[in-house]
Amino acid sequence: MAVTEAAPRPVQRRGDVLFAGLARAAAVTILLALAGVAIFLTLEGAPAVTAPASARGGEDDIVLYVWPLPFGTLLAAVLAMLIATPLAFGVALVISHYAPRRTSRTIGYLIDLLAAVPSVVYSLWGIGYLGTRISGLYVWLEDNLGFLPFFAGPASTTGRTILTAGVVLAVMALPIIIAITREIFAQTPTLHQEAALALGATRWEMIRMTVLPCSRSGMVSASMLGLGRALGETMAVAMVLSATGVVSFNLISTSNPSTIAANIALQFGEASGLKVNVLIFSGLVLFVITFGVSLLGRAIAARGVKGDSR
Amino acid sequence: MSTQTTSRRPETASRQDLPLTHPTLPRSAPALAGVVSLASAALVGLLAGWGPALTTLVTVLVFAVALPLWAYVVEGSRGAIDRLATTLVWTAFGIAMLPLVTLIYTVAAKGAPVLSAEFFTFSMRNVIGAGGGIYHAIMGTLLITLVATLISVPVGIMAAIYLVEYSGQSRLARTVTFLVDVMTGIPSIVAGLFAYALFVIIFGPGVRMGFGGSIALSVLMIPIVVRSAEEMLKLVPDELREASYALGVPKWRTILKVVLPTSLAGVITGVMLAVARVAGETAPLLIIAGDTD
């Protein structure tokens, strides 16, 4: 008798139940939103598979129409990463270890500011400033490195090539990668660094032996985030690139592969009927690619964490 | 005699091999090397008629060779590698800052002349040729972003509350955390296509709607809000929650009156970051919103 009185059941207040329900509903909304993205894209993209050839630019098969686009997307993104990651790690090292503290704080603010600049501003810069100046470099590349398939030419005189698009994407991805890697470099245990220096290591040896091993997984996931941004970037590519939809490794010529996102942005305004479905189908492909990239990034980051705890 | 010298020699040699100090370059060595390489590159550049870009490039190259070489002669290979790494890191910094600085310069220099009261207060309606402004674009940006914020802030913050306060380690929580990560990486144009596909099913093909733009933007905005709000709520110390429970305050009032106000500043910062990110989006609006000046 006394025991049952001593342990009353917890009071269920109406407010509590309501609030918990609301919070749970919000979490489920996120699930539904993502599921919705996948479902609606599939629903609207499905008719494209059986659409007549006229709807997809005369190609017989949806694969033939879509194939150059992921190629261009990946090519531009890989170019951007090749340019951006070494530079970003260099800048992050300067901010975290090389520059005097006050200077590095100013640079850090500047980088954060640049991370918030909308992509369309970067593309205006790419056309107006970079494109006109970089075409001279392309002519030089064609003359001197023309034997490489990448620089076979003929060099574009407007500078609106896939390499320019890659450079603009790299510049856009830079602030994001820098902001993350800077944080990660700064989290290296100070004791490790001081121990390395006390043993007589030079600054570079200290960085190579303590900072880089500690932050390897973070560097990878930062690059993956930058890669995701470069893959999905629309306006920079749509405005900078003069695309002809070929599959080509020639980086400096006038005929360039387009990217999925840029192709959608450029074609969507005039598209109607089944053409819309074809474009939505290519959007679904892009969604799957970025999904895969973020899965990969998470897997690598998780492996790094496990390696640290061992 | 000979045995004495052989027995003595290793001792003195080992003492000389282990000095307590080692020769180092003077502190002004990088500056000196920089001046010398700039001077030599400029001299050759003037004779050969190079532009400033090529001269700078050659200066950096000469510097990257000369300083490590000097360090190799004086300090040995480890010092040389250190100098080389320092040079490379600073060069990467210089290359990376170049586009970022020219970006700011270009936008400011080319944009400043057209800034005027007219530019901000007139729309482009019925304007042909010069004149007009971006009033319509500013209003459109504000309206669409405002609606997107109204949708995603409550959802985002409530989801963060669920993740931090209610879920524990449940399956749903882990799935949501994972999916929020994935959602952060959704390309903006895919969000636009999603909104379009959704509205086509409801309203029929060819739909263009500002509200659809808001839906697309909130798909992009929710993960950012959830992420930052989650981090901020986690920072609230458990003692505050426990003190509130001990006073008999229900959980929902604890969250509303104790946890949220404590973390309010951080949550608002996160929301503002999300707004800033989303207000600059272009691609989804191109697809779903359409425009009529």
Residue carrying structure tokens 């090529």: B54
Whether the pLDDT of residue B243 is over 90: the answer is yes
Q: Does B139 touch chain A (CB under 8 A)?
A: no
CATH number at residue A192: 1.10.3720.10
Whether the pLDDT of residue B195 is over 70: the answer is yes
Measure B163 CA to nearest chain A CA, in Å: 8
Best mean pLDDT range from B58-72, B243-257, B276-290: B243-257
Position B5 scores a pLDDT of 45
Q: Among A156-170, A215-229, B79-93, B105-119, where is mean pLDDT lowest?
A: B105-119
**Chain B residues with CB inside 8 Å of A164's CB?**
none
Residue A8 lies in a domain: no
Number of domains within chain A: 1
Position A7 scores a pLDDT of 58
Report the predicted TM-score, pTM, of the whole model to 2 decimal places: 0.80
Residue A5 lies in a domain: no
CATH architecture of the region B135-288: Orthogonal Bundle (1.10)
pLDDT band at B75 (very low <50, low <70, confident <90, very high): confident
Q: Does A118 touch chain B (CB under 8 A)?
A: yes
- The string of pLDDT tens digits covering residues B250-285 is 888 899 999 999 998 888 988 988 888 888 777 787
Give the SS3 label for residue A243.
strand
| A23 contacts B92? CB cut-off 8 A | no
Whether the pLDDT of residue B218 is over 80: the answer is yes
Name the strand (E) or helix (H) holding B267.
Answer: helix B260-279
**Chain B residues with CB inside 8 Å of A265's CB?**
189, 283, 286-287
What's the whole-number average pLDDT of chain B?
81
| B95 contacts A24? CB cut-off 8 A | no
Give the SS3 label for residue A256.
strand
| B206 contacts A272? CB cut-off 8 A | yes
| A22 contacts B172? CB cut-off 8 A | no
Domain(s) of CATH 1.10.3720.10: residues in chain B: 135-288
Phi, psi of A256 (to 5 degrees): -125, 150
| B277 contacts A116? CB cut-off 8 A | yes
Q: How far is CA B161 from the centre of its chain?
A: 26
Contact B252/A20 with Cβ under 8 angstroms? Answer: yes
Most A CBs within 10 Å, among B161, B193, B251, to test the A interface:
B193
**Chain A residues with CB inside 8 Å of B190's CB?**
37, 41, 232, 283, 286-287, 290
Q: Can you list the residues of chain A whose pLDDT is less than 70?
A: 1-11, 51-62, 153, 155, 245, 304-310
Position B159 scores a pLDDT of 92
List the beta bridge partners of residue A243.
Answer: A256
CA torsion angle B187 B193 B199 B205 (round to 10): 170
Position A290 scores a pLDDT of 87
Domain that holds residue A72: 22-309
Residue A125 lies in a domain: yes
Residue A118 lies in a domain: yes
Most B CBs within 10 Å, among A13, A14, A24, A209, to test the B interface:
A24
